[in-house]
Chains A and B, each alone.
Chain A
Amino acid sequence: MNIIEVHQLSTHFGNNLVHDNISFQVHSNEIFGILGGSGSGKTTLIRQMVMLQEIQQGSITLLNKDIASLSLEQSQAFKPSFSYLFQFGALYSFLNVIDNIGVMLKEYTQLPEDLIQTIAYTHLTMVGLPLSCAKLFPSQLSGGMKKRVALARALAMQPKLLFLDEPTSGLDPSSTQSFNELIVQLQQLLDLTIVIVTHDLNTIKHVLSRFILLDKTIIFEGNYEKALQEKSPTIQNFFKHKE
């Protein structure tokens, strides 16, 4: 079953063509990667998928809904079914860590406050943060910690679909490893479909089940082993410099 279907998507800003007629599908329960150099339109693509940027041409279907045709009310109801992990966390600076993690549950459900807090604390432990940072504010956290809190916030709603924008950039190698392991583990246990924008070779190798390589159009689609056998110099180059 296809969770995401992108169909003949084209995007341009002024004269600058960002996407040229791209189409691909993301199947359920896979960890799908969007790769590409700087300015290749990765972030624009993922922002279009989470309805932050308008779709100029073509269509994107998430969980069988054409997101461009949703009314305001429909999209409001639809949004809790996916989560987006921003590159720098985008935590709410006026809420502390625990309230940041529980904010969606608080607004969208009628669960009692103490259960929301317990869920938040559980997810805090799950992403590997100590209890001592529960009452801190985002400005008091390091970049890596912010990312973990943001992941906890994304997971707390238990979405079916999770978008991660460079989840491991700025993390040290061992954190990257444990972050990757956590993502794989969670994907299996929670039946998630995950879309990752990444540059990290470790993630590409060990986490992604399939990925696309973007450079205005899709220049490669498949997994890491298949990519290594490609003869095209652009693809070779992309992975060579990662080693």
Chain B
Amino acid sequence: MQTPSVKVKVIMETYSNSFSLTSTNKTISLVLLGHWNKTTLPLIIKKLSSISLQHKHLEIDFKELESCDSSAIIYLISLIKQKEIHNVTLKNLGQYEALYTLYSTYFTPIPKAVLEKSYIFGAKNIGIHTVAIYLGIVRAVYFIGQAVYFMFLSLIQPKYIRFKAMLNHIETSALNALFIVGITSFLVGIVIAYQGSVQLQKFGANIFIVEMVCITMFREIAPLMTAIVIAGRTASSYTAEIGAMKITEEIDAMRTMGFEPTVFLTLPRIFALIIALPLLIFFSDMVSIFAGSIVAYLDLNVSFSEFINRMKDTVEIRHFLIGIFKGLFFGMAIAMIGCYRGFQVQNNTTSIGKYTTISVVNAIFVVIALNAIFSVILTQSGL
């Protein structure tokens, strides 16, 4: 018998064959229909989320359900657990009972800590970065110290020099770079001489092309150009080589066998570049001066023999020697940076790329910075 004062409102709707809802004042009964799986679920979620299920008794009926996969089960569990619904009844679970029990045992909502954003995030980052920079400096100092120690040790006791490895590195990082160094030097030589010749012609000071090309090339441009090419080419390959060895645990293997990685990996590379870079700079000098003399001949009517004689008379040997001398330090810096970044690689694939990039950027910057320092010091001291 029904009391006429209480009206029971019943709404029933069916949503595209995936579920039907019967809702009364206190109870919502959700009858699942058809297939609930990864493909149908996005639409179901959209429809269900627009319906308020809160503060009512929810009844879920699995009777008409044809198939159901784990994503759907997890969605249903999250629906039941997260919206604070009172009294959920599951009807006719049947074949899905085991699946439901399994996933409700292991069900894990997204932890709150992940969802909440920390307001001190910025401050925390400053701290993290400061510590990282400090540790980075400590590690770099330690690495440089170790390399320098073994360098001097190997000068006293040459058995520490791995000649074969060193020659190998000279071949790959210098001999194989001759072509690219040559072509860059040739082009830069042409450009410098050509731009200079336009200005010099205005004053009729054609012969000064010799000093201009030779001094700028010997002293500044050839060493810098060569060092930058080698920094891009060799620093990256050193980092990648050592980084790959670090990932495959070769470096750890060396340590356990008592082979000091500094002696076996770093030193041959440092020595290789200390020897090879001055030689490359000499090569670059020759090519760029040749390029300059071609421009001088074609543009300013300065013959090759005039060029050479003028060079002998007016260009002092110190300009050439300063360029070569700088090469020693550039070579050492490039090799050290390449190796140092290689040893920093961590055990994942993205880290090789990251440190190779850092290594090249560092090497080029350090070369330019060193060059500036040398330029000021040497000019101030009258050389």
Chain A residues with a Cβ under 8 A of chain B? 93-94, 105, 108-112, 114-115, 117-119, 121-126, 131, 134-135, 137-139, 155-158, 185-186, 188-190
Chain A residues with CB below 8 A from B346, complex form: 139
B106 near A: Cβ within 8 Å? yes
* Chain A proximity of B211: nearest CB distance (Å): 55
B163 near A: Cβ within 8 Å? no
Task: Spot the interface stretch: B67-75, B177-185, B329-337, B359-367.
Answer: B67-75
B333-370, CB under 8 A of A: which get 1 and which 0? 00000000000001111110000000000000000000
Tell me which residues from 10 to 58 in chain B have a Cβ below 8 Å from any Cβ of chain A: 38-39, 41-42, 45
B103 near A: Cβ within 8 Å? yes
A134 adjacent to B350 (CB under 8 Å): no
B41 adjacent to A111 (CB under 8 Å): yes
B107 near A: Cβ within 8 Å? yes
Taking a contact as CB atoms closer than 8 A, the residue among A94, A118, A139, A156 that contacts B109 in the complex is A118
A118 adjacent to B108 (CB under 8 Å): yes
Chain A residues with CB below 8 A from B351, complex form: 139
Tell me, in angstroms, the Cα distance from A155 to B109 when the chains sit together: 17
Q: Which residue of A lies closest to B346 (CB)?
A: A139
29 contacts between A and B (CB under 8 A): A93-B348, A93-B349, A93-B350, A105-B38, A108-B38, A109-B71, A111-B45, A111-B71, A112-B42, A115-B41, A115-B45, A115-B71, A115-B74, A115-B78, A117-B110, A118-B108, A119-B70, A119-B71, A121-B108, A121-B109, A123-B106, A125-B106, A125-B107, A126-B103, A135-B114, A138-B348, A158-B70, A158-B71, A190-B99
Taking a contact as CB atoms closer than 8 A, the residue among B38, B41, B98, B348 that contacts A137 in the complex is B348
A158 adjacent to B69 (CB under 8 Å): yes
Taking a contact as CB atoms closer than 8 A, the residue among A134, A138, A188 that contacts B111 in the complex is A134
Tell me, in angstroms, the Cα distance from A118 to B110 when the chains sit together: 6
Chain A residues with CB below 8 A from B348, complex form: 93-94, 137-139
* Chain A proximity of B100: nearest CB distance (Å): 10
A131 adjacent to B42 (CB under 8 Å): no
Q: How many residues of B contact A (CB 8 A)?
A: 28
B102 near A: Cβ within 8 Å? yes
Chain A residues with CB below 8 A from B350, complex form: 93-94
* Sample of 12 further A-B pairs with CB below 8 A, known A93-B349, A110-B42, A188-B98: A111-B41, A115-B45, A118-B75, A118-B78, A118-B107, A118-B109, A122-B107, A125-B106, A125-B107, A126-B102, A155-B70, A190-B70
A124 adjacent to B75 (CB under 8 Å): no
Chain B residues with CB below 8 A from A156, complex form: 70
Chain B residues with CB below 8 A from A117, complex form: 110, 114
A122 adjacent to B74 (CB under 8 Å): yes
A122 adjacent to B108 (CB under 8 Å): yes
B70 adjacent to A121 (CB under 8 Å): no
Tell me, in angstroms, the Cα distance from A137 to B110 when the chains sit together: 18
Chain B residues with CB below 8 A from A131, complex form: 108, 111
Chain A residues with CB below 8 A from B39, complex form: 109
B94-119, CB under 8 A of A: which get 1 and which 0? 00001100110011111100100000
Tell me, in angstroms, the Cα distance from A190 to B95 when the chains sit together: 11
B103 adjacent to A109 (CB under 8 Å): no
A121 adjacent to B349 (CB under 8 Å): no
Tell me, in angstroms, the Cα distance from A189 to B78 when the chains sit together: 20
A126 adjacent to B106 (CB under 8 Å): yes
Chain A residues with CB below 8 A from B78, complex form: 115, 118
Tell me which residues from 225 to 265 in chain B have a Cβ below 8 Å from any Cβ of chain A: none
The 8 A-B pairs of least Cβ separation, nearest first, read: A139-B348, A110-B42, A93-B348, A121-B108, A126-B106, A125-B108, A158-B70, A109-B38
